[in-house]
Amino acid sequence: MPFRIRMGVPEMEVYWNDLIHRHDAGHLGKDEERFLKKLGKALRFLEQDPRHNSLASHEISDLTHKHGMKIFQSYLENNTPGAGRIFWAYGPEKGDITILAVEPHPEDQKRGAYQRIKISAFPKTSSGGNG
């Protein structure tokens, strides 16, 4: 059973909607088009199997401890150390994966880089509350 991909609020939802709107209007630059294509492919893999080999998904303990929930990182490209990263968590409802942040140019080799990542909140659940 595939997962339902949701965008965190407000940052990821705003970012995603802007990217899609500008793509549909033909207003993305070449780098943004390439980025959107990689992001779309990674989201499809994540939807089908969060443990897909090319995602190299793994928990980021610094973020898990900071935010009090398990937060995972997946790569936008396989075998590319400088590739962008997707930060996500399971929830808010069963079968959901929420995208909490996307970092096109991560600096995870620098001390404290994960502390600088702005994590979005879970979207509201169908019952009206947050996960």
Determine the structural domain holding residue 60 and report its residue range.
Answer: 4-116
Domain-located, residue 122: no
User: pTM here?
Assistant: 0.88
- Rounded-to-integer distance, Cα 8 and Cα 101, Å: 8
- The total number of structural domains that make up the chain: 1
pLDDT of residue 81: 64
- Rounded-to-integer distance, Cα 42 and Cα 23, Å: 17
Digit-coded pLDDT (tens) for 91-118: 999 999 999 999 865 555 556 667 788 8
Residue 64: pLDDT over 70: yes
- Rounded-to-integer distance, Cα 81 and Cα 65, Å: 24
Which phi and psi angles does 72 have, rounded to 5°?
-110, 160
Digit-coded pLDDT (tens) for 21-58: 999 999 999 989 999 999 999 999 999 999 999 899 99
Domain-located, residue 96: yes
Domain-located, residue 121: no
- Rounded-to-integer distance, Cα 130 and Cα 121, Å: 8
- CATH number assigned to the domain comprising residue 46: 3.30.2310.20
- 52 alpha-carbon distance from chain centroid: 15
Domain-located, residue 124: no
